[in-house]
């Protein structure tokens, strides 16, 4: 079984990993700089996080391919994170190893419709992964998005 890393790129980044043993882990990281940091600190934090997750040892990496952002800063941050992901991955950018998946495609796989709300995606992820009530209370939209992406990848991967 291939190991898979799924990311909802952003300052508050959701992530989900399916290990080679089939075990699934997920969470959210916050790469926001403190008021005494430069804005570039977020990229160093993200790069360090990827190294700590041993990204080069992961078989396949997927991320939400966002084509429209609410603002210029969000678009720049997303682009910076996507670039760092590509560099830290250290492999050719073939679709077999590094791939963006459209947001609507992810939402449709999780909820049945491509324009689902954040709440609908989170509710669907809770059902799909049989998440306990206690864990569901702490499940952020970003983590839910990463898990929805993982669900899409798992259900569409060749057997």
Entry pTM: 0.91
Say how far apart CA 21 and CA 60 lie, in whole Å: 14
Q: Which pLDDT belongs to residue 115?
A: 95
Radius of gyration for the alpha carbons in the chain, expressed in angstroms and rounded: 15
List, as one string, the DSSP characters of 82-150.
HHHHHHHH-S---TTTEEEEEHHHHHHHHHSSTT--HHHHHHHHHHHTT--HHHHHH--HHHHHHHHHH
Q: Which pLDDT belongs to residue 91?
A: 59
Name every residue whose Cβ is closer than 8 Å to that of residue 116 and which is 6 or more positions away in sequence: 107, 108, 110, 124
Residue with tokens 């990311």: 7
Residue with tokens 């043993």: 21
Crossing angle (nearest 10°) for helices 103-111 and 118-128: 50
Q: Which pLDDT belongs to residue 89?
A: 75
Which mean pLDDT values do the consecutive 10-residue runs of the chain (159 residues) have? Answer: 93 95 95 90 94 86 85 87 84 66 96 96 96 93 98 88
Q: Which pLDDT belongs to residue 159?
A: 63
**What domains can be seen in the chain, in order of their start residue?**
4-156 (3.30.420.10)
């Amino acid at each position: 079984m291939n190991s898979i890393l799924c990311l909802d790129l952003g300052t508050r980044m959701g992530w989900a990993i399916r290990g080679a043993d089939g075990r699934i882990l997920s969470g959210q990281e916050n790469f926001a700089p403190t008021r005494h940091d430069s804005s570039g600190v977020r990229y160093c934090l993200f790069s360090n996080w990827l190294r700590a997750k041993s990204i080069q040892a992961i078989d396949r990496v997927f991320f939400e391919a966002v084509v429209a952002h609410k603002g210029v800063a969000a678009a720049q941050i997303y682009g910076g994170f996507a670039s760092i992901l590509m560099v830290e991955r250290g492999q050719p950018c073939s679709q077999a190893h590094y791939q963006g998946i459209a947001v609507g495609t992810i939402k449709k796989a999780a909820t049945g419709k491509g324009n689902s709300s954040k709440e609908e995606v989170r509710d669907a992820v809770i059902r799909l992964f049989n998440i306990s009530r206690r864990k569901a209370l702490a499940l952020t939209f970003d983590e839910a998005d990463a898990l929805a992406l993982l669900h899409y990848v798992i259900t569409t991967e060749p057997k």
